[in-house]
Structure 1
């Protein structure tokens, strides 16, 4: 059996890339590391550059390059494909289109439709029950968001892009804050100023979507990342925020810590996992500040490695077990 892991860089493996590769190889699978941004087609058959690791041998480690000769591999010659990171923006549209077509012939761990349309903050309103999502406004119109803030300017708010990760451009807006207007203008692209500078030309109009979300005190107590695989909560850890920052993202200086999940948290995470499975998503990282879900991480769903650091337990074998069982069940239903 052959698994293709589509990753961003062959010369520097991510923590999740290495863990998943090793877990599948321990089960006798061949694993190919393929470049997500090198997807191409030969007479409409999708292929990529990559390297093949046999079903046995030295394990991979995060950081160093995967060793082996780079060759061409066709997606339809693999039994399973896993998109581990999304493509670069410059090529994303073409790559998503080709991968969607390839997914009609080959099984994918996470569906292309799910990665395209559910790996976004916009999707929280669809996936989550009302009691588990934080009230928010979404717009690319500065005046709309500014007016909504002013109507409740005695409250704390959070403003952030709808499609960014790792805590990028996430701002905490205090009550009656002196820089709130400027922040919202900046996040929505400074459309009015750009129009003035370029004399109203259409090319100058580049508004950007922003989410204005109520700040919840539960976040101050720390978020938890829960990795859900095929509807089962497999791994989790807490995030202790940087004392100089309101964000607890690891990329922003947050620190992983060992935590427990109570029954309500497990039930909520697994119910979301089952909902996502209806759309072909079998592996997701859920950011939780119970009873609220802050974000769904499908494109960059790491969490296994940090959980291993905090607990000392590698959960990747359970992940592989669940994914393989789901894949085999899917194949049996098709026969």
Structure 2
């Protein structure tokens, strides 16, 4: 995961998962990607074992935490949660993939390699917008212009391939694209070498917000509606959006389950699926959040309990 001092305890989903596991009597340790090594042919980590005080309050749980540091073989652990923020470190995946058949990873390392970016979500594009809006991923600015013109988009989105939390998402209208080339050129070339970016049809209703569905083992188990802050088209909570309760209707449930079948096949057991107007616009497979706002708008229902229950069921299958 990210460093402990980067945790925002009042709203951090990872902390809720940790606290739930501790409350069940599990030994829990954490480490960052910088703490992982290979020694004597084994994948090892300098882990910090959590020693906590008994408390029901998550903020107090965080603030009173103490740690014991040791070097541990990863295969000594039963379950490893991958909770570092994107983009994923490919060297880290290379190291952990050596042991993915020996340890239950949430999510599976080979699955993260396949699905950790927005390219995976774009693979659901059938050109008919059955599951996702029409999507182009490219480094070619002329191709973006042609894509927009040929499909007669009234509005469209440009965003970086490795963005998160709504960062870098730019909304364009077809009759006002004067700075399209400049924006695309910046995103493509800002690192010093060309990077592909995403151009996507704007789904009507996005200005009203999106639905974040929490999907575990291919099954949608809860959702919130995220409402953009005034004057902003992004509904991400981290971008200033707010959350209200949302009950998935039959079509949304079926859509999530359809996507969930592919997720299970790829070893993605815990995922956030973002929906707008019955279209999937994004998948968060690396570090899905939304637990705290979900609990808050659903009368403090602690969805992390159900998440851990379902992942333990999957762990039992893995051990057979």
Q: TM-score, normalised by structure 2?
A: 0.89
Cα distance per residue 1:217-253 (max 9 Å; x no partner): 0322320111111122222111110112111111211
Structure number, greater radius of gyration: 1
Q: Report deviation, 1:285.
A: 0.5
C-alpha distance 51-60 of structure 1, shift in aligned 2 (>3 A): farther
User: Which of 188, 210, 235 is the equivalent residue of 1:223?
Assistant: 210
Q: Report deviation, 1:132.
A: 1.2
Q: Distance in 2 between matches of 1:183 and 1:170?
A: 11
**Structure 1 residue 274 corresponds to structure 2 residue 268:** no
**Structure 1 residue 326 corresponds to structure 2 residue 314:** yes
Match of 1:199 in 2: none
Q: Distance in 1 between matches of 2:87 and 2:236?
A: 22
Match of 2:170 in 1: 171
Match of 2:110 in 1: 113
> What 5-or-longer segments of structure 2 have no aligned partner?
none
> Helix, strand or coil for the counterpart of 2:102?
coil
Match of 1:139 in 2: 138
C-alpha distance 265-65 of structure 1, shift in aligned 2 (>3 A): farther
User: Which of 227, 238, 243 is the equivalent residue of 1:256?
Assistant: 243
Q: Distance in 2 between matches of 1:65 and 1:37?
A: 24
Q: Report deviation, 1:281.
A: 0.8
Q: Distance in 2 between matches of 1:128 and 1:175?
A: 22
Q: Distance in 2 between matches of 1:128 and 1:28?
A: 43
Q: Report deviation, 1:158.
A: 0.7
For the aligned residue pairs, the C-alpha RMSD in angstroms reads 2.4
**Structure 1 residue 299 corresponds to structure 2 residue 286:** yes
Match of 1:70 in 2: 69
C-alpha distance 209-99 of structure 1, shift in aligned 2 (>3 A): same
> What 5-or-longer segments of structure 1 have no aligned partner?
1-6, 192-203
Q: Report deviation, 1:144.
A: 1.9
Match of 2:120 in 1: 123
Q: Report deviation, 1:300.
A: 2.1
C-alpha distance 310-100 of structure 1, shift in aligned 2 (>3 A): same
Q: Distance in 2 between matches of 1:21 and 1:275?
A: 27
Match of 2:96 in 1: 99
Conserved 8 A contact 1:155-1:175: yes
Conserved 8 A contact 2:82-2:287: no
Match of 1:10 in 2: 4
Q: Distance in 2 between matches of 1:94 and 1:65?
A: 33
User: Which of 290, 297, 307 is the equivalent residue of 2:277?
Assistant: 290
Conserved 8 A contact 2:206-2:233: no
Conserved 8 A contact 2:271-2:284: yes
Q: Distance in 2 between matches of 1:234 and 1:115?
A: 21
Q: Report deviation, 1:146.
A: 2.7
